[in-house]
Amino acid sequence: MRTPFIAGNWKMHKTVAEGVELAAALKTSLADVSSMELAVCPPATAVAAVADVLKGSNIGVGTQNMHWEDQGAYTGEISPLMVKELAQYVIIGHSERRQYFGETDETVNRKLKAALHHGLTPIVCVGESLEQNEAGKTVPFVGSQIRGAFAGISAEEARRVVLAYEPIWAIGTGRTAMPEDANEIIKTAIRNVLTDLYDEETAQAIRVQYGGSVKPHNMAAFIVMPEIDGALVGGASLQAEAFTAIVRNALAAL
Ligand code: PEP
């Protein structure tokens, strides 16, 4: 059984004060949730303060990115050691990082290895563009992202990875994938490739979130899909009410 997992990606939103306020609200509104894993990923500047608010709660904290080196002359970056001091999760290879900041399958792979080495839970994002989708290239493309991300990673390590299938055309657009389509892509482009790379048991153990315009009204339709184990939520994670409703609707549907 894979424990469902819903995480909020706050992207470049929330000052420290705003982040603390949102975290405090979620700590109260979601305090009773025990059958689902929950996390928020604030911008790096707010991670320490948010982690402080959520200490001892059922909501974990993650960063939205990190470098693969422990330290060094990498201006503007944060290292796994720095993440580890404050957080348990790290988002790796979000499509916005790939699109605007030059992340590749190779850097994703390096970051994934570093996260696993340091005991962090990585949330690795994959997903196709609209052009790839319309050209019928989704399955080979997402499959190649999975192969690139997991290169050189053992089955034991792979089981600690969380994946997020996020079609780029669904992120922040209000347009979601059809739940059945997302389920099928996760099955064919993700679990089948993981079975090929490792074995069936490992492929079945890895959690896969759906991401892309998840809102309170559509969460249930995704979480009931057999291959979908939760959600990575962007815009709707910025308000306590919406994120709480997403979690509640997912719980009610399970
Ligand atoms: C995301 O940032 O990963 C995301 C899915 O964003 P949104 O929910 O806003 O589409």
Q: Which residue from 237, 215, 186 is spatially nearest to 39, judged by alpha carbons?
A: 237
pLDDT digits (tens, 9 = 90+) for 70-110: 999 999 999 999 999 999 999 999 999 999 999 999 999 99
- Among 168, 93, 101, 108, residue whose Cα is nearest residue 138: 168
Tell me what percent of the residues of the chain surpass a pLDDT of 90: 100
Q: Hey, what are 134's tokens?
A: 């319309």
**Whole-number pLDDT of residue 1:** 85
Distance CA 233, CA 126 (A): 14
Amino acid at 133: N
Joined tokens for residue 2: 């894979």
| Residue 163 pLDDT | 99
Question: Is residue 233 within 6 Å of ligand 1 at its C-beta?
Answer: yes
Q: Which residue has the tokens 């330290």?
A: 71
The residue nearest atom 8 of ligand 1, judged by CA position, is 234
Residue 173 CA: nearest ligand 1 atom is 10
Q: What is the mean pLDDT of residues 244-251?
A: 98
CB of residue 166 inside a 6 A radius of ligand 1: yes
Return the pLDDT at 106: 98
CA distance linking residue 3 with residue 201, whole number of Å: 15
**Active site includes 96?**
no
Catalytic residue among 94, 103, 128, 227: 94
Contact 131, 91 (CB under 8 A): no
Q: Is 179 in the pocket of ligand 1 (CB under 6 A)?
A: no
Residue 174 confidence (pLDDT): 95
Residue 213's pLDDT is: 97
Question: Does 119 contact ligand 1 (Cβ within 6 A)?
Answer: no
Element (DSSP H or E) covering residue 6: strand 5-9
pLDDT of 39 over the 90 cut: yes
247 class by beta-carbon count within 10 Å (0-12 exposed, 13-18 middle, 19+ buried): buried
214 CB within 6 A, ligand 1: yes
- Predicted confidence at residue 85, as pLDDT, reads 98
Mean pLDDT of the chain: 98
Tokens linked to 98: 């790939």
pLDDT of residue 123: 99
Q: What is the Å distance from ligand 1's center to 127 Cα?
A: 12
131 is catalytic: no
pLDDT of residue 130: 97
Q: What is 66-121 written as a DSSP string?
A: --SSSSSS-TT---HHHHHHH-SEEEES-HHHHHHS---HHHHHHHHHHHHHTT-E
Q: Where are the alpha helices (DSSP H) in 150-239?
A: 155-158, 179-185, 192-197, 200-205, 219-223
Distances (CA, A) of 119 to 23, 84, 112, 157, 184: 24, 8, 11, 10, 31
